[in-house]
Amino acid sequence: MTYNDILTRLRYAFDYTDAQLVTIFAEAGHEVTRDQVKNWLSSEENPSYVQLTDNDLAHFLNGLINHRRGKRPGPQPVAETRLNNNLIVTKLKIALNLKGEDMINLMDLADFRLSNHELSAFFRKPENRHYRNMNDQVLRYFLRGLQLKYRPGQV
């Protein structure tokens, strides 16, 4: 799953316009133009398509946290240069103020069953022996659950 696809799915789930996406990036202190956003959201066959980097998606997710929960006082978090699915879902969990049960309910909406123990393994530190990498399929189900919750009848 590409980062462009993740951005596209989040944009659809929350019904954000290009201007709102630019604002969300700005909330993390990352200035982007509307043209950059359009290039990230265009199809891969389009000659103007540009691949979204880890750092750009990390800025977007940090901006989404600030946008939905408000900026915390003090220095803002530094955007990561390398992302994985576990970190992406962790940032979405923070932005949407989700608890474990909420996340399991989102997965249920997308017809994917996950136990609390399986879910908690995704949020452990990588050094922990119970840590588990989230594969793209689980991330897709989570994003689908978001779409079904925030845009019912539109999916």
pLDDT at 116: 94
Quick: pLDDT tens for 131-154. 999 999 999 999 999 999 999 876
Cβ atoms within 10 Å, residue 128: 10
Mean pLDDT of 101-128: 95
Give percent of the chain above pLDDT 70.
Answer: 99
State the pTM of this model.
Answer: 0.93
The overall average pLDDT reported for the chain is 95
CB 141 within 8 A of CB 104: no
Angle 31-56-51 from CA coordinates, rounded to 5°:
115
**CA proximity to 154, closest of 17, 42, 9:** 9
Q: What's the full length of the chain, in residues?
A: 155
Q: What is the mean pLDDT of residues 81-109?
A: 96
77 DSSP 8-state letter = P
Q: Where are the domains of the chain?
A: 3-69, 85-150
